Amino acid sequence: MEKTYNPQDIEQPLYEHWEKQGYFKPNGDESKESFCIMIPPPNVTGSLHMGHAFQQTIMDTMIRYQRMQGKNTLWQVGTDHAGIATQMVVERKIAAEEGKTRHDYGRDAFIDKIWQWKAESGGTITRQMRRLGNSVDWERERFTMDEGLSNAV
């Protein structure tokens, strides 16, 4: 046994195993009672903070408890586009890195920049959520601007 606990040696491989085995997915048994939590989607404008971690720990505890009770559980995960806030973050980023404005790009090219930034930032958030051990169904992950969902936004 190691003298000190190294979380990366245990937690990441174990979480990956749980994901691969589908432990976080609904069991699909319609005869069982269902229990669902829709995660309040964090904005893609940054990273998670302690408030997110606290809130997600409570939700994770609730969903795991219901899963242990035999219920058909779903913890729906996603991120929010944060509209104007995201636009401002991307505008500041391109100004600092390239000395350009959104007008230099034009609408379509600037929207492409936003999607690139969302991929980077959203990836940070989902890595943080995995690091917390959140037992969400990652195959159902959504973004508020996803095709089909954005019509409702």
Indicate which CATH number applies to the domain containing 110: 3.40.50.620
Nearest in space to 82 (alpha carbons), one of 118, 55, 132 = 118
The beta-strand segments (E) located in 39-140 are 72-76, 78-79
- Domain for residue 58, yes or no? yes
pTM (global) more than 0.95: no
- Domain for residue 9, yes or no? no
Q: State percent of the chain over pLDDT 70.
A: 95
- Domain for residue 13, yes or no? no
- Domain for residue 81, yes or no? yes
> What integer pLDDT is reported at residue 134 of this predicted model?
96
Domain count along the chain: 1
- Domain for residue 101, yes or no? yes
**Residue ranges making up the domain that contains 70:** 34-143
pLDDT tens digits, 37-88: 998 887 777 788 999 999 999 999 999 999 999 999 999 998 877 778 788 8
Whether the per-residue pLDDT at 136 is higher than 90: the answer is: yes
